[in-house]
Amino acid sequence: MTRRNFPALDWFRLVAAVLVVAIHTGPLSSFSPVADLWFTRVLARVAVPYFAMVSGYFLARQNWKGTGRLWRHTLVLYVLSVIAYLPLNIYAGNPVTWRNLIFNGTFYHLWYLPALLLALPLARALAKNGRWGLGIAGVLYLLGLGGDSYYGLAGRLPGLGILYEASFCFWDYTRNGLFFLPLFLLLGAAFAVRPLPAPRTSARLALVGLLAMTAEAFALHGLNLTRHDSMYLFLPLTMWGLFGLLLAANAGQDRAVRRTATLVYLVHPWCIVLVRGLARFFGLWGLLVENSAGHFAAVVPLSVALAFALQALAGARSRRLSPDVRAWREIDPDALRQNAAALRAALPEGCALMAVVKADAYGHGAILTARALAREGADLFAVACLSEGIALRKGGIRGKILILGWTDPAQAPLLRRWRLCATVADAEHGRTLSAQGVPLHVHLAVDTGMHRLGIPAEDTAQLAEMFALPNLHVDGVYSHLCTSDGDTSADRDFARRQTEIFAHTLAMLRGLGLDPGLTHLQASYGVLNPGCVQEQRFGAARLGLALYGVRSDSTSVESPLPLRPVLSLRARVAAVHQLRAGEGAGYGLAFTARRDTCLVVLAIGYADGLPRDYADKGGVVLLQGRRCPVVGRVCMDQMLVDATDLPQPPQAGQIATLIGVDGEETLRAEEVAEICGTITNELLSRLGPRLGLQVRER
């Protein structure tokens, strides 16, 4: 893995989880209590604040819209963890009280989960107040500090002492309540809305903070002032520098490592018990328990192994193919996220990404795609028709959804019910929508030369009339570039003229005192060929094909962004036949073997989106990492492939790749589209709905 693609944030989650294990095993205590104090009570104290900062950072990137989802996920984890540790609580005679269940966690490491459940809504509320909210969280942290590392001083003050004793009726420690996590959630969130510090600056802050925290910890422990030691005065400074350093090094995500870190955190106390039991059974108590380094060295790999085993068990169930899945689309969500990030970075400042998920997200699965993008902060979506918009709403998509195509005005109540924004296709369409008597949100389509949908750009009177119509609330104005994918100077010149016409129309509307709302002109090729729009700036860009990591064809573009294909198309081998030279196969016996031939039948056909004459066009598939030609006529449900030259005899059930990577070979969607005599947009959009849809796991 190169540095450029290193998911530092996710990998440090695993480091943080191991540091939590160190806190509970004391790896250096057998050798040097002083060194163990520094390792477990100073250095390892960065672990839990880091978990909170990562959560706050990603929540803020989504404008805190994922708070409810994270809260529910945390609640499910907590309930499952309570159940998992119930046997240990019963064995140890620890009753699961309501106080511990709600405030402290029912086992010593589970305190973080109920604390996070309390801190998330509080942090979200404080985040709305900007610096004031961060200041309030800082004051809460200082109050908590007095009940933690500085309790020997603050607890003697009459007013504070009473406050702390009252809080201890609920929480065992102030870290468990309102005082600890909100600050670190908001510190992480701050990195999402402000410029990233230089790595050198972050490194210096982290080092200075850690040195100061070390001195602070040894002084407090030496004076015996601590009630607990989760909170230090210099801990926020240390975390600010550390998180800035990791964020500067971060590129991409590693969901498997992230899940492993969470599971290591959750299961390691069980592993401590298991190591002790095994050590007693095999007579290794001295090596694996009394020797603290040996104890730590046994618990960590056992925790990681158990985490992998649990993931494998869950993954085997989630990835198991249904027996009737013969052909399927395989979606790579990491590629989708990477593409969205690359496209956002390419957009001008202030220009939002509108995800185009029409035609089932170009065959990628509209709901799956929209959910993945929503988790990355997308809240603008575009579809082609009413039914697609309703499907997104039923799938839980809450952002703004624009219907780009014509909508029957009689369906106005459904537009209202499902909170969908309609396109005004022309002036008469707008008047008819208004006449339905239903309040609607609309975008005005402007015809700048494509002559498809839209009110003519020069007809300012009709455009202005739309703003005055009752029941219509104009939220946006847009047009579409029809030659931005071309590579000739005439194509680019026409796109630039369209841009100038659209910008002039917007200026005219503003001159009349009309607010055009969200303006958008560029689609994928308008971003890949930014010269089309020159220096013009609009409120959003409608991105479809580029989001999925492909282009319409192999034509070069001005700005070839680092985009990865999201979709692969696979099918299973249904049967294998051995033909003698001269034998025919398929409808009309269109294929005649010129030699002894190994003929493979794939369980995919023209009803799944490939043309009937794919073989005549030069169609190929990948089997065992090699290209094999399609032969004969493609059937509705099957196709024939000549697999004679494969190094190993193919077997029924093997997987063939029609789009994607197999070993060292790749069949890009652009290549397949060119073989079919069409563009990638059409090829992907007509992939049949009976194809399965699977998510690739890292």
Task: Tell me the Ramachandran region of residue 80: left when phi exceeds 0, alpha when psi lies from -120 to 50, beta otherwise.
Answer: alpha
| Backbone angles phi and psi of 331, in degrees to 5 | -110, 135
Amino acid at 132: W
Q: Which class for 635: exposed (0-12), middle (13-18), buried (19 or more C-beta within 10 A)?
A: middle
**Nearest alpha-carbon partner for 9 in 202, 307, 242:** 242
* Per-residue buried b or exposed e for 638-675, using 16+ beta carbons within 10 Å of the residue's own CB: bbbbbbbebeeebeeebbbbbbbebeeeebbbbebbbb
Q: Which class for 452: exposed (0-12), middle (13-18), buried (19 or more C-beta within 10 A)?
A: exposed
Give yes or no: 358 in active site: yes
3-state secondary structure 626-651: EEEEEECCCCCCCEEEECCCCCCCCC
Residue 623's alpha-carbon distances to 99, 132, 594, 627, 660, in angstroms, are: 60, 61, 21, 7, 12
Sequence-distant (6+) residues with CB within 8 A of 452 are 480, 482
Which tokens go with 455?
């009110």
Tokens 């005219």 appear where? 508
Q: What is the distance between the alpha carbons of residues 549 and 547, in angstroms, rounded to a whole number?
A: 5
How many Cβ atoms from other residues are within 10 Å of residue 191's Cβ? 20
Give yes or no: 112 in active site: no
Residue 688's alpha-carbon distances to 328, 585, 672, in angstroms, are: 10, 25, 16
Tokens 């100061």 appear where? 212
Q: Which residue out of 78, 151, 164, 358 is catalytically annotated? A: 358
**What is the set of active-site residues?**
358, 587
